[in-house]
Amino acid sequence: MRNKLPSAFSCLLILLCSFPVVHSGEPIEDAFVNSGISITGGALEPASALLDPILQSQIGASPQFNLLEIRDLDDPQMQDDDAISVASVLGVDVDGDETNNFSGNNLFEVTPESVDDNGQPLVLFGSGSIVGGELSAGPADLQGPGGISLPGVTLELTIEPGGSAAVTPGIPTAIPAELFDAIPAPFPFDGFPFNYDTMTQVLEFVGIVVDTDLDGDGVLDAFSVEFSLSFVSCELVYPDLSGTPFRRGDVGGDGTIDLSDSINMLGYLFTGGAEPGCMDSSDIDDNGVVDIADAVLLLGYLFTGGAPPADPHSTCGEDTTTDPLECLIPHQGC
């Protein structure tokens, strides 16, 4: 991956046309998970033996994993394809077994934060191709933690035949010096005769000094570094973003709207009755709040010719309004 502008440490942790239809829940096999990292150049290269294990432990311990999905792939060997794209997303381990995360076929679920409202990935490297196992796609703009923008990133990978593994070429970037103040000194530097507290002290001891002005203020404040990311094959599924179908007014969830629904709502509001399994069904006016007004509106609809509940009402549907209410239990007949 090449970045036209220097980036911060976030680039180490997030690797990060027309869209094909993605059906949530269907495992996708043309995917990779970031499984390793190694420093290959820059001012920090002399300390790679110390830093590589620390960076690797961050990948293994992270609750989220960097995933790549190769799209529009025609060559199952992933060696030659003149028109592909690559989605870059974050995912979580589905089975919760950290021992098989990098086994080559582990299943990850893409986080909802990685996709838009239609379930499409927010970061897509388009206009890509694979020639002799060398993939190139992009550029794409990445947004890292803390609002750090990584514009114009081009993704490059060398893929093993069959797609079992992949590796990036050296990626030049820079890491802020202050980051190493938060990293404890590793053994043996944390004990006698060194007694260092932070990695910053260790780097100073081995003669590594800042050589990059990351913020452009004329003061050297970062270490230059070049690193390579390694990947293994995996499977991924996209999240199901669809809501739970319900009928507004059917507070009891039994498939009918009658007096018992008003009674259930009033009991919940005033006498400690059970909370409805689908709170959206009690929000008769769809204003995001369940209160006495909803009970009055429902009684008016049932007995005095008042306005019907807001949609979905006559048939099952989903709540299209953004509000804090949830529908946890599907209604009968929906």
pLDDT at 291: 95
Q: What is the rounded distance in angstroms from the CA atom of residue 177 to the CA atom of residue 200? A: 8
Q: What is the mean pLDDT of residues 72-101?
A: 94
Per-residue pLDDT tens digits for 304-316 = 999 999 999 999 9
Which of 37, 103, 24, 97 lies closest to 66, judged by CA?
A: 37
For residue 114, the SS3 value is helix
pLDDT, one tens digit per residue, over 273-332 is 888 989 999 999 999 999 999 999 999 999 999 999 999 999 998 888 878 888 878 788
C-alpha closest to that of 108 among 255, 237, 248, 247: 237
In DSSP notation, 174-208 reads: EEEGGGGGGSBPPTTTTSTTT---BHHHHHHHTT-
Rounded CA separation 25/57 (Å): 30
The predicted pLDDT at position 9 comes to: 33
Q: Quick check: helix, strand or coil at residue 7?
A: coil
Ranked by mean pLDDT, the top range of 55-59, 66-70, 170-174, 237-241 is 66-70
Q: For residue 270, give every residue at least 6 positions away whose Cβ sits within 8 Å of its Cβ, in sequence order, or none.
A: none
- Token pair 């909803």 is at which residue? 294
Classified as helix, coil or strand, 169 is coil
Q: Which of 77-86, 87-96, 265-274, 316-325 has the highest mean pLDDT?
A: 77-86
Name the residue among 320, 276, 322, 326 with its Cα closest to residue 298: 276
Question: pLDDT per residue over 115-172, tens digit each?
Answer: 887 788 999 999 999 999 999 999 997 654 433 446 788 999 999 999 999 999 998 8
* CATH hierarchy code of domain 243-334: 1.10.1330.10
3-state secondary structure labels for all residues of 34-82: EEEEEEEECCCHHHHHHHHHHHHHHHHHCCCEEEEEEECCCCCCCCCEE
The count of C-alpha atoms lying within 13 angstroms of the C-alpha of 272, restricted to the half-sphere facing its C-beta, is 0
Question: Residue 16: pLDDT above 70?
Answer: no
Q: Tell me which of 184 and 6 has the higher pLDDT.
A: 184
> For residue 25, is pLDDT > 90?
no
CA-CA distance, 297 to 285, in Å (whole number)? 8
Domain ranges (residues) in the chain: 2-237, 243-334
Rounded Cα–Cα distance for residues 324 and 285 (Å): 14
The pTM score is: 0.67
pLDDT reading at 206 higher than 90: yes
Question: What six digits make up the tokens of 154?
Answer: 């081009």
Report the percent of the chain where pLDDT is more than 90. Answer: 63
- The angle, 0 to 180 degrees and rounded to 10, between the axes of the packed helices 259-270 and 292-303 is 170
Average pLDDT, the chain: 86
Helix runs in the chain, H state only: 10-13, 48-61, 199-205, 259-270, 292-303
Predicted confidence at residue 24, as pLDDT, reads 52
**Helix (H/G/I), strand (E/B), else coil: 151:** strand
